[in-house]
Chains A and B, each alone.
Chain A
């Protein structure tokens, strides 16, 4: 790990029931990117998780209707805590204008289809200060290679 700081290990807070298609997709993505996964049944639990993980790189993924409950306060709280929200627009229901406005004003990203989740996660990881574990491993490999090269180089120098 780069910093060895678990605070920086990013995670996704997945809000919703098992049956939701985006939940399966989000879990797959998290596995692929080696992100920590926190499952929440509703927005209330999600807020508790975000508050407990304040300062940590978190992305809250859930349906817009759920995340925008209670006047969309989650968006502001997440932003304050350094988390990012990703709202899925339900394909079967037309999103309420007010909910969309709350999400946009709260700095959340809106996703129209489950397939767009990957882009949203990529964008978030690229923009955030923390890295996915997978990226850290790449970086460690790079470091190890460099150290080996330096040792070899130093060894060679010693030999000489």
Chain B
């Protein structure tokens, strides 16, 4: 005879939420979770068990750290429960979260929505009191309220550069902080490129601010095209831009047609390649506002700093990349410098 104990069913509470993973990584107010009808399970198997035995209305899954096992975890949750599954995504997880919730083409729709973190507990545990998670393809009945739309609009304004449509300084610094945490944990590499447009003030003063704006927009567009989808390009000041190149181990096996660089390449070589390609493309960009004399005159200078070689924190990397950028300017512009040991090594950028 088996000694299997009679299992008491978990209490069924309407609106109950199950949170899976280390919630301190995603909630600004993780300590407040006790105020809601929430259960937290750090171990994913405990969570899948609880999800299958309990009646949860919503399940929040912390993506950070789940990496390649995430689809398997989500499939198991789908198997055991009908709860709404919300992914709690770090900024760098957002492209994957979007895919998992979109269920496009042949891909399964493994989650129902995602929230980009850090966020507040209310966003998941008390959605009636907070703006809803981002749900691609949600139906009209679940259309966001005017308040939700307004809040999302404000969120976009707070993280986007109005002129170029790129991310802004606030976003890229937070993104870099999160991706550095990830790199520290998974032995990853992150490279920060800071660049600006040579003689930008001259163009602004000579051709006017409209032309200056056009140059900035063109630079943003071209840089975005030169980067992989998961690299983050931001405008961090007047004519100053930053790019976070990072290694995502989960994407190594993915087959991205538009991936223009080898994912196995070493930092900062791939970053240099992107910067070099951008420099070439930008130099040949047609800027009608500059007139016939404008073609081929635009150049950039940049500085590259890599984690862990050149710094451990965002501030350190930004500082080192800025120093390298200044060195590049002092050395005659139109070049990208790496942070070196005794002296900077110039990247192999064709003149």
* A interface residues, Cβ below 8 angstroms from B: 41-45, 47-52, 54-55, 57, 69-71, 73-74, 77, 80-82, 127-130
Contact = CB atoms under 8 A, between A and B. Distances in A.
Given A45-B75, A49-B79, A54-B7, A77 B49 contact: yes
A9 to B, nearest CB: 13
B35 interface: no
A44 B72 contact: yes
Contacts of B46: 73, 77
Contact of B43 (A42, A48, A54, A70): A70
Contact of A41 (B5, B6, B48, B72): B72
A51 B80 CA distance: 8
Contact of B48 (A51, A54, A57, A128): A51
Nearest to B4: A82
Nearest to A78: B49
Contacts of B51: 48, 51
Contact of A51 (B43, B44, B52, B75): B52
A57 to B, nearest CB: 7
B77 interface: yes
Given A52-B52, A82-B2, A74 B79 contact: no
Contacts, number: 77
Contacts of B7: 54-55, 80-81
Q: Which 5 A-B pairs rank lowest in CB-CB distance, beginning with the nearest?
A: A82-B4, A51-B52, A44-B76, A48-B80, A73-B45
B76 A128 contact: no
Contacts of B5: 80, 82
B44 to A, nearest CB: 6
Interface string B25-58: 0000000000000000001111011111100000
A44 B43 contact: no
Nearest to B80: A48
A86 B5 CA distance: 20
Given A44-B69, A47-B76, A77-B45, A129 B52 contact: no
B221 interface: no
Contacts of B80: 48, 51-52
B72 A48 contact: no
B79 to A, nearest CB: 5
Given A41-B75, A44-B44, A47-B49, 12 more contacts: A41-B72, A44-B73, A44-B76, A45-B75, A47-B52, A48-B48, A49-B79, A70-B43, A77-B45, A77-B49, A82-B3, A128-B1
